[in-house]
Amino acid sequence: DERWTSSSSSSSSKWPTLHDAALEVLSTPNARDKATLTKAAGKAWLETGAIPTARDSSSAAKKTPRRPARDDAIRIVASNSNELKLGNGRSVESRRKILHALSHIESWAIDLSWDIIARFGEEMKDEREFFDDFVRVAVDEAKHHLLLSERLEEIGGKYGDYPAHDGLWQSAIETSDSLTHRLVVEHCVHEARGLDVMPNTINKFRENGDEASALLLENVVYPEEIGHVKAGLKWFRFLLGDASERGSEETVKTFREIVEKKFYGTLKPPFNDDARAKAGFDKRYYEGAIGNKSSHSR
């Protein structure tokens, strides 16, 4: 689709389209390389115009992988494994585990951002702003992954030291056939859950003397994650043809129906109502909502 292209596309890029950039990140197995490529692609799309268009006539034939490439640096375990217990932050080992878990989530979030661009790009090909928003989300997640990994190294750990789960990608597979479902489950419910637990996580570092980690989360990660929930909700409303600022009652009803059908688990309070409200995600969407508790692949 060539209906909108960047006016400054004189600087060339190794990626003829944003779809090509997305597929390269998704097929890159190393977490740090994924983040570095994401920063380069973000600059080429958002700043220099070196990537001239989101898609072209060849994009449809270039399929999005069911799962992104991942090397064996992280040992994947079940999401309910005792090996994933992080502790209360009182020991340096516990704080390393918390930083590692956060860094891992941010790395998967890079893939989720590129997956929505590649998988649903044809559906959204006329909406430049959609691509802008999710490239920005990808760049934020890459920055967070690199900063959290760097902080982990400063306190004596490294990415790959601990096991992790891939629950976010299980949800991605289960919402791979519907952009509305993907936006609700991954980019609203899961992202907002991150907002709910963040103040307590910050306190675990602060109360145990790790102010550098607390400030990284408080000043960089936390405020940017609010913007990610906002983007998810914005495009969900767009797909429903809802131009209202808060979302109509019909939009809220549809949202809750999708949660009930496609979100596996429960929406657990306490909710961070203030942070959610900053994203436009008011209580009507989630208060008393019940996910799908039936057994599934995880």
pLDDT of the residue at 167: 75
More confident residue, 291 or 241: 241
pLDDT of residue 45: 98
- Residue entry with tokens 């001239």: 52
Please enumerate in sequence order all residues whose Cβ is within 8 A of that of 295, keeping only pairs 6 or more positions apart, or say none: none
Token pair for 230: 């906002």
pLDDT tens, 133-188?
A: 999 999 999 999 999 999 999 999 999 999 888 877 888 999 999 999 999 999 99
Spatial CA neighbour of 59 closest among 124, 136, 137? 124
Residue 11 confidence (pLDDT): 53
Region 234-256: what's the mean pLDDT? 96
84-132 confidence digits (pLDDT tens): 899 899 999 999 999 999 999 999 999 999 999 999 999 999 999 999 9
Terminal C-alpha separation, the chain: 38
